[in-house]
Amino acid sequence: MGRMFKALIIVPILVIRVPAHAEGIDFQECKSSECISYQQPVTTKTDTLSDLYSIPSFRAVDVRQPHQSLESLYDVAPNAQQELEDLAHQIADHVDGTVYSAGIKGEVRAKQKVEGELGGDASQLTDIVRVTVEVDSVDALTAAYAELAASAQTKEVINRFHAPRPSGYRDLKVLVALPETQMIAEVQLHLKKIADIKNGQEHEIYREIQKIERTATLEKRELSEHEFAKINRLRQTSRALYDHAWQAYQPLSMAV
């Protein structure tokens, strides 16, 4: 009898990765319009976007700052901002990225947000310290996220590459608890071509839409048919710009 051969069938498994520092059991489905579906898109081995798509969106149940009062938070904020920027520069150096910082959130705006949106609870204000890391490849963006998640406890991820905003805007927004100050900080991970649209043409489109809407509000009336049509055209322009920028990062087999 000849030799018998057994066929070994390897079944590929798609692993949904939650960072090691993420809070493992305190997840809740977010309720806002920012929500992203947890269902992962079907990918193939040749799909270079699979690592990015496999970053799940989540929010820990209780995301709060380590201090209750706005005054206490602003006492710690300078050290926390420096800690965040040091971490961001370290990550950017490893992925050939650029760090952008607007600095600590203004106290007047922070107070307005606490009183108007957070029911007076300053511990829920999670963007007092914030920073942006901008890269120009999907691989660099996923590498930046992996290093961030390994360096600080992840509290929230909003993966807008799954479900972009109606304008077509995409990014990865992450809340982390910084290891030294324990402050909750906001990190936005951007792709350069998309960020260029946001900071350039999209900004002008947004201002024009705001002007139309503000005029109608001041005049205490509904938008006219002409104004409504103009806003729709502006939003379509915005979507086209973002979609064009996003296509530059997709494999040739996926380009339309």
Nearest CA-CA partner of 61 in 26, 37, 34: 26
What per-residue confidence (pLDDT) applies to 205? 94
Tokens for 83, please give them.
């800690």
What per-residue confidence (pLDDT) applies to 20? 46
Whole-angstrom Cα distance, residue 32 to residue 255?
Answer: 31
What per-residue confidence (pLDDT) applies to 27? 40
What per-residue confidence (pLDDT) applies to 162? 86
What per-residue confidence (pLDDT) applies to 22? 52
**SS3 track for 13-75:** CCCCCCCCCCCCCCEECCCCCCCCCCCCCCCCCCCCCHHHHCCCCEEECCCCCCCCCHHHHHH
Q: What is the pLDDT along the chain (256 residues), one digit of tens a residue?
A: 444 444 433 333 333 344 545 544 344 444 443 443 333 334 443 356 889 999 999 999 889 999 999 999 999 999 999 999 999 999 999 999 999 999 999 999 999 999 999 999 999 999 999 999 999 999 999 999 999 999 999 999 999 998 899 889 999 999 999 999 999 999 999 999 999 999 999 989 999 999 999 999 999 999 999 999 999 999 999 999 999 999 999 876 455 4
What per-residue confidence (pLDDT) applies to 163? 83
Q: Is the pTM of this model over 0.85?
A: no
Q: Is the dihedral of CA 104, 24, 31, 236 positive or negative?
A: positive
**What's the distance, CA 105 to chain centroid?**
18
What per-residue confidence (pLDDT) applies to 15? 38
User: Do 173 and 162 form a contact (C-beta atoms < 8 A)?
Assistant: no
Whole-angstrom Cα distance, residue 196 to residue 180?
Answer: 33
What per-residue confidence (pLDDT) applies to 250? 84
> What are the two backbone dihedrals, phi and then psi, of residue 219, each rounded to the nearest 5 degrees?
-85, 0
User: Do 90 and 142 form a contact (C-beta atoms < 8 A)?
Assistant: no
Whole-angstrom Cα distance, residue 224 to residue 210?
Answer: 15
Whole-angstrom Cα distance, residue 46 to residue 20?
Answer: 26
What per-residue confidence (pLDDT) applies to 252? 61
What per-residue confidence (pLDDT) applies to 47? 56
Whole-angstrom Cα distance, residue 188 to residue 167?
Answer: 18
Scanning 96-180, the segments in alpha helix (DSSP H) are 107-117, 138-151
